[in-house]
């Protein structure tokens, strides 16, 4: 047998003692864990917890495993929203298929679990919108998915919203640029797959009564086209309005989560046509800033929300002291006085239901709600107490969360 792992190699050492010589379906190891309501798969997929982290293992033919290993590695390097690959095991005895190893996306969940939990704020339309954004991001990067579906997507709460990540890259292709025909084919596949998945939920009795599987699936194409047109369309602005026209266009792209490349102004009679090259945003601007200041590693929207609270805390410190407070000092105090007391106050029986950063975001939202009711700022501590007593107990954990850092 041979193993091929991406760096850091030490992340894989604990996996080497697994029974790789046996068919994946026959494994009987105490490190195997169940992931409730995971998506459907045509291959054998098992999950293991090793050294505090959960990994997904998928058995498939070696050429496909090597191809997916390479593609997922490139997606990670380009910052595309996909699961992170760790390695593959090939040349297994008896001509067995290869095993692809990916890191399970922490605090994520499948669409089946979202619709099966008693308390969920994620509607079918929101999940489809998130899937459409993911598909647009991939298409802008020249990625043809080939099997776009809810089953091949993981969803993770991200500061009140939800982020989608590609899970299965077995059918994907990478091109310099996709043709209209390739994009249309991906949309047809997505509509077929999503419609079938929602019909499956309907048969299981877990789809909300107000969701029509067929109409929801049909809505994918117009939602996609509306976003694609917004990202790629030209705009006409009057002479003397060039600056404002470009600024407005860039602001809308930013709000949609995309970056601008080359901006072109083409003279057109009494005005200008504004063309903007749209591209997938360079990942992690807010993540890097928060990590630099606090050492916390969270998702992008969560980082944006936490940075806002950090800056508010810094302003309060400066107001109380009457003098400027250094950014690094304010960040240290925010972690010690605001963030850690909240995340460490979670009772043991409720731990792991939300990522710490998402928990803190929700408590900030709860604080706003309570403050509106009270007509005054109730403070983070009081909001945390209320949230932990009344809201978090009704939130279901998506998967076993074993990671320690």
Total number of domains in the chain: 4
Entry pTM: 0.68
Are residues 158 and 192 both part of a single domain? Answer: yes
Per-residue pLDDT, 62:
93
Which residue in 395, 161, 391, 402 sits closest to 299, CA to CA? 161
In the structure, what pLDDT confidence band is assigned to residue 51 with cuts at 50, 70 and 90? confident
Tokens of residue 60, six digits: 């498939």
In a domain, 145, yes or no: yes
Rounded to whole angstroms, the Cα distance separating 23 from 31 reads 16
Per-residue pLDDT, 399:
46
- CB 128 within 8 Å of CB 91: no
Per-residue pLDDT, 138:
93
- CB 274 within 8 Å of CB 260: no
The distance from CA 147 to its chain's CA centroid, rounded to whole angstroms, is 18
In a domain, 403, yes or no: no
* Domain final position from 39, 72, 103: 103
Rounded to whole angstroms, the Cα distance separating 333 from 335 reads 5
103-119 average pLDDT score: 75
Please state which of the ranges 259-263, 370-374, 394-398 shows the lowest mean pLDDT: 259-263
Per-residue pLDDT, 262:
58
Are residues 193 and 148 both part of a single domain? Answer: yes
204-212 average pLDDT score: 85
Are residues 176 and 239 both part of a single domain? Answer: no
Q: Convert the pLDDT of each residue in 277-329 to its tens digit.
A: 665 555 567 788 898 899 898 887 888 889 889 988 888 888 888 888 888 89
Per-residue pLDDT, 216:
92
Per-residue pLDDT, 265:
63
Bigger pLDDT: 257 or 178? 178
Rounded to whole angstroms, the Cα distance separating 297 from 300 reads 9
The SS3 of residue 309 is helix
- CB 254 within 8 Å of CB 163: no
Phi-psi region of 133 (alpha: psi -120 to 50; beta: other; left: phi over 0): alpha
Q: Can you list the positions of beta strands (E) in 149-209?
A: 153-158, 161-166, 173-174
Are residues 55 and 154 both part of a single domain? Answer: no
**Residue ranges making up the domain that contains 296:** 285-394
pLDDT greater than 80 at residue 157: no
The CATH number given to whatever domain includes residue 62 is: 3.30.200
Which residue in 68, 98, 110, 97 sits closest to 85, CA to CA? 68
Are residues 311 and 325 both part of a single domain? Answer: yes
pLDDT greater than 70 at residue 259: no
In a domain, 405, yes or no: no
In a domain, 370, yes or no: yes
Tokens of residue 111, six digits: 């669409």
In a domain, 168, yes or no: yes
State the average pLDDT for the chain.
83
Rounded to whole angstroms, the Cα distance separating 373 from 369 reads 6
b (16+ CB within 10 A) / e for 196-228: ebbebbeeeeebeeebebeebbebbeebbeebb
4-27 average pLDDT score: 82
In a domain, 384, yes or no: yes
């Amino acid at each position: 047998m041979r193993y091929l792992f991406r760096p850091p190699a030490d992340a894989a050492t604990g996996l080497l003692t697994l029974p790789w010589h046996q068919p994946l379906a026959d494994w009987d190891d105490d490190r195997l864990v169940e992931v409730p309501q995971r998506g459907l798969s045509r291959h054998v997929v098992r999950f293991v917890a090793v050294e505090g982290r959960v990994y997904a293992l998928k058995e498939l033919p070696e050429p496909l495993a090597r191809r997916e290993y390479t593609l997922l590695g490139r997606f990670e390097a380009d910052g595309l929203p996909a699961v992170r690959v760790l390695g593959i095991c090939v040349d297994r005895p008896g001509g067995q298929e290869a095993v692809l190893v990916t890191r399970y996306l922490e605090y994520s969940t499948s669409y089946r679990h979202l619709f099966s939990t008693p308390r969920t704020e994620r509607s079918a339309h929101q999940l489809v919108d998130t899937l459409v954004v993911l598909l647009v991001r991939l298409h802008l990067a020249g990625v043809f998915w080939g099997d776009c579906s809810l089953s091949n997507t993981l969803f993770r709460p991200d500061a009140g919203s939800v982020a989608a990540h590609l899970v299965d890259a077995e059918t994907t292709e990478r091109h310099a640029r996709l043709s209209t025909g390739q994009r249309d084919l991906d949309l047809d596949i997505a509509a077929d797959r999503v419609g079938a998945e929602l019909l499956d939920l309907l048969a299981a009795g877990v789809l909300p009564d107000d969701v029509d599987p067929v109409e929801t699936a049909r809505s994918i194409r117009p939602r996609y086209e509306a976003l694609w047109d917004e990202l790629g369309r030209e705009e006409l602005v009057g002479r003397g309005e060039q600056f404002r026209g470009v600024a407005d266009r860039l602001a809308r792209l930013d709000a949609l989560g995309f970056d601008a490349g080359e901006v072109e102004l083409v003279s057109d009679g009494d005005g200008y046509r504004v063309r903007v090259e749209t591209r997938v945003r360079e990942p992690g601007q807010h993540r890097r800033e928060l990590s630099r200041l606090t050492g916390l590693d969270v998702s992008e929207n969560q980082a944006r929300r936490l940075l806002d609270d950090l800056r508010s805390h810094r302003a309060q410190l400066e107001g109380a002291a009457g003098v400027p407070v250094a950014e690094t000092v304010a960040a240290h105090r925010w972690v010690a006085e605001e963030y850690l007391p909240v995340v460490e106050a979670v009772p043991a029986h409720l731990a792991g239901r939300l990522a710490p950063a998402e928990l803190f975001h929700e408590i900030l939202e709860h604080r706003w709600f309570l403050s509106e009711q009270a007509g005054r700022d109730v403070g983070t501590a009081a909001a945390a107490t209320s949230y932990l007593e009344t809201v978090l107990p009704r939130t279901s954990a998506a998967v076993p969360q074993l990671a320690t850092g």
